[in-house]
Amino acid sequence: MSTLARDQIFSVLKEELLAMDKPEAAARMSEAAHFKHDMGLDSLDIVEFVARAELHYRVHVKDEDFSALDRVGKVIDYVLERVPETNA
């Protein structure tokens, strides 16, 4: 997996956070950052964030996978596993 694709997805996700009007969370965003503990997102914010990622990349996060996506890096991995690199 190229670094470029990861960086692109990271940028897109950061833009989505800014579109959610969460500049503080966006400022604290890193691949290792935990949504709740590091970025201060609550459960609704996380659902919205993941839903925005779903819409952007047209992927569906299964309900059983939802709770495991607690860090930015895991969302990037999830997207990369399901979207061809050229489209990411």
Partner 1 sequence: MRITVAAAAKALEALSPLLETYRRRFNLRLVETPGEVPDPVRQRQLAGGADAMLLVGSRRRSPRTVLPGPFLEDSRGRRVPTGWLPEVGEVPLKRFAEAAARLHERSTNPGQRVVAVLSQWNPKYLHLANRIEELLAADPTATAVMGWSGDQLTRDDLMRGLDCGLAAAIYVGHGRPVGWVGYHGTRAHHFQGNAGHPLGVMFSLCCATASRKRTGLSFSEALPLMGRAAASFGAVEATLHADNTRWALGLCQAVRQGGQTLAETLLLALPTSASAIRGYRILGDPLAPLAAAPGALQQAVTIGKYDEYLSA
Q: Residue numbers of the site for partner 1 (CB under 8 A)?
A: 21, 42, 44, 47-48, 51-52, 54-55, 58-61, 63, 66
Q: Are 83 and 59 in contact (CB under 8 A)?
A: yes
Among 72, 14, 77, 70, smallest CA distance to 42 is for 70
Residues with catalytic annotation?
42
Of the pair 27, 51, the CB lying nearest partner 1 is at: 51
Of the pair 64, 86, the CB lying nearest partner 1 is at: 64
Rounded to a whole number of angstroms, the minimum distance from the CB of residue 51 to partner 1 is 5
Tracing tokens 């833009």 back to the chain, one arrives at: 15
Of the pair 32, 47, the CB lying nearest partner 1 is at: 47
3-state SS of 6-49 is HHHHHHHHHHHHHHCCCHHHHHCCCCCCECCCCCCCCHHHHHHH
Rounded to a whole number of angstroms, the minimum distance from the CB of residue 70 to partner 1 is 14
